[in-house]
Amino acid sequence: MVPVEVGSLEDEPVISEAGQVVMLRHGLGLALEVVRLVRALPEPVAVRCIVSANSTNGTFRFHRARPGESWLGPDVDDYSGDKLIVVDSGSASIGGTPW
């Protein structure tokens, strides 16, 4: 549980800018821990962790990174309402960022 206050406006959740930053910081910490654990495996694999936050929610996703799979949309402008952090382990060419 991330300690952020969620308000409400017309029955929709509202998360302040400061709350979004708190969620991103927690997500970054979790992403770095996932990468550390994956690297400690007997046979490490490349992973991509994606942390995002906006005024209504936050998400944390992680995927095994494979050539040709980015797990992100090709247009960075599609994320204009979100704050986004991507943490990759392994080669930069695996799961390459489309931008």
Structural domain containing residue 49: 6-88
Q: Give pLDDT, residue 69.
A: 78
Q: Give pLDDT, residue 92.
A: 58
Q: Is 78 within a domain?
A: yes
Q: Is 11 within a domain?
A: yes
Q: Is 97 within a domain?
A: no
Closest to 90 measured CA to CA, from 51, 72, 63? 63
Q: Is 99 within a domain?
A: no
Q: Report residues of the chain scoring pLDDT below 70.
A: 91-99
Number of domains in the chain: 1
Q: Give pLDDT, residue 99.
A: 39
Q: Give pLDDT, residue 89.
A: 86
pTM for this entry: 0.83
